Amino acid sequence: MDEKPFDIKRRCYHYSKDIILFISQAHIEKIYFSIFDQLLRSSTSIGANVVEGKSGSSRKDFKNFYTIALKSANETKYWICLIRDTGLSKVDKEKLDSLLKEADEISKIIATIIINLNK
């Protein structure tokens, strides 16, 4: 993704799309399918929880969904690092590094939003 959207909801959506495309192009051995499935679930959960949080009924509801989104972003980083560091699949290492960087940036943005809610 060249130009990143300013809105966190849109940025998470684009990130989910990038992960889906990445996984669809990876050559995954059957034994490792569950790891890529976990990556798909955690990465798409980030945006889903941000969207739910934005439509929450209260400030507490908003914060809870953003906290879940942050946990999903951190879990996504875990799965990406595991794939990268074990060489589980013949994947584009540069793309993997790019996805990891974006997950890190998204998690920092969400963490900042949560911190600001506590003020």
Per-residue pLDDT in tens (0 to 9) along the chain, 119 residues: 456 667 999 999 999 999 999 999 888 888 889 999 999 999 999 999 999 998 878 899 999 999 999 999 999 999 999 998 887 667 788 899 999 999 999 999 999 999 999 88
Q: What letter does residue 5 receive in the DSSP assignment?
A: -
Query: pTM for this one?
Result: 0.90
Per-residue model confidence (pLDDT) at position 40: 98
- To the question of domain 8-117 being in CATH 1.20.1440.60, the answer is yes
Q: Is 90 in a helix, a strand, or coil?
A: strand
The neighbour count for residue 4, using CB atoms within 10 Å, is 13
Report the Cα 90 to chain-centroid distance in Å: 21
Q: Among residues 73, 47, 69, which one has the least CA distance to residue 114? A: 69
User: What would the two tokens of residue 13 be?
Assistant: 């959506």
